[in-house]
Structure 1
Amino acid sequence: MNTLYPIFLKTEQLDFLIVGGGNVAYEKLFFILKSSPQTKATVVAPFIREEVRALANNYAVELVEGIYNPDYLKGRHIVIATTDNPAVNRQVYEDARAKQLLVNVADTPELCDLYLGGIVTKGNLKIAISTNGKSPTVAKRLRQLFENIFPEDMDKLLQNLHRYRSTLKLSFEQKVDRMNALTQELIKSDD
Structure 2
Amino acid sequence: MNELYPVFLKVAQLNTLIVGAGNVGLEKLSFLLKSSPNAQVTIVAKEISPEIKKIADQSDAIALVEDSYKEKYLNGRHIVIGATDDKDVNKQIHLDAKARNLLVNIADTPALCDFYLGGIVTKGNVKIAISTNGKSPTTAKRLRQLLEEIIPEDINEMVENIHLYRDTLKGDFEYKVEALNKLTKELLVKN
Q: Quick check: 31-40 or 145-154, which moved more?
A: 145-154
Displacement, 1:101? 0.5
In 1, Cα distance between equivalents of 2:162 and 2:188: 16
The residue that corresponds to 2:64 in the other structure is: 63
Alignment RMSD: 1.4
Q: How does 1:44-55 map to 2 (within 5 A)?
A: 44-55=44-55
Name the CA distance, whole Å, in 2 between partners of 1:54 and 1:151: 33
Counterpart-to-counterpart distance in 2, 1:58 and 1:145: 31
What is the DSSP-based 3-state SS (H/G/I as helix, E as strand, rest coil) of the residue aligned with 2:96?
A: helix
Report the alpha carbon displacement of residue 186 of structure 1 after superposing the two structures with TM.
4.4
Q: Do structure 1's residue 24 and structure 2's residue 24 form an aligned pair?
A: yes
**Matched-pair identity in %:** 60
Partners of 1:80 and 1:25 in 2: CA distance? 8
Q: Displacement, 1:63?
A: 0.8
Per-residue CA distance 1:123-179 (angstroms, 9 max, x = gap):
100101100010111111211221222222221110001001110012111111111
Corresponding position of 1:39 = 39
Paired position in structure 1 for 2:183: 182
1:160 aligned residue: 161
Q: Deviations over 1:2-36 (max 9, x none)?
A: 11100111111100000000111111111111111
1:73 paired residue number: 74
The code of the aligned residue for 1:155 comes to N
Instruction: Single out whichever of 22-31 and 73-82 deviates more from structure 2.
Output: 22-31
Cα distance between partner residues in 2 of 1:165 and 1:73: 42
Q: CA deviation at 1:187?
A: 4.3
**Secondary structure of residue in 1 paired with 2:116:** coil
Give the number of equivalent residue pairs: 190
Whole-angstrom distance in 2 between the partners of 1:28 and 1:186? 36
After TM superposition, the structure 1 stretch with the greater mean CA deviation from structure 2, 151-160 or 63-72, is: 151-160
2:6: which partner in 1? Answer: 6
User: What is the Cα deviation at residue 188 of structure 1?
Assistant: 3.1
Distance of 1:6 and 1:136 partners within structure 2 = 16
Counterpart amino acid of residue 15 in structure 2: D
Structure 2 CA distance, aligned partners of 1:186 and 1:160? 12
Aligned pair 1:111/2:124, yes or no?
A: no
Q: Which runs of 5+ in 1 are unaligned?
A: none
What are the Cα deviations for residues 38-84 of structure 1, in whole angstroms up to 9, with x where unaligned?
21111111111111111112221111111001010000000000111
Q: Which residue of 1 aligns with 2:15?
A: 15
